[in-house]
Chain A
Amino acid sequence: SYALTQPLSVSVALGQTARITCGGNNIGSKSVHWYQQRPGQAPVLVIFRDNNRPSGIPERFSGSKSGNTATLTISRAQAGDEADYYCQVWDSSTSVAFGGGTKLTVL
């Protein structure tokens, strides 16, 4: 099965930049998508196809890829950005793969 590796937690000071990574073999050749999940709520898409924002998602959210790592960047972090974040790709072995999730804490 295809594994996506995310850090369990990331902390960021209010107003600073948070970066959440997602590592996977040959991830550079795959479309990476990111979801935000606040406690008790369903996931919400924040980035699709590596670096595209759905309508309604602030410009502070951006995505990138380099080598075997994709990164979700949240600029000018706000208290409301505290949530779990998941990356997702499609892989021929498992079809859909999710990362284990990263808990973002805004200090």
Chain B
Amino acid sequence: EPEVTQTPSHQVTQMGQEVILRCVPISNHLYFYWYRQILGQKVEFLVSFYNNEISEKSEIFDDQFSVERPDGSNFTLKIRSTKLEDSAMYFCASIPGTRGNTGELFFGEGSRLTVL
């Protein structure tokens, strides 16, 4: 069964460092998302991406964050200068195009980011 894959599974970084989290969405999917979940809190939407551009972003997704689909398969989330409060599990997700789309999000297993 096709799945969304994410790397790294866990990254520890120092405050102020840049971090890139990588995702390979399911190959025929067209819509891509990043969500995050701070430990003990709810899953929060960060950004959605379609047709090589951001379609929607949340208040959390400020200038420190950026997304990119550099090569048609990878979908990356970059945090330019990490803060302690960026420590969280970051989930990548994807869905097919509108045809046959049930609205179900297909999540990767997540990348745990720890900022020291």
Partners in one complex: no
Question: Interface on B for A, CB 8 Å cutoff?
Answer: none
Chain A interface (Cβ < 8 Å from any Cβ of B)? none
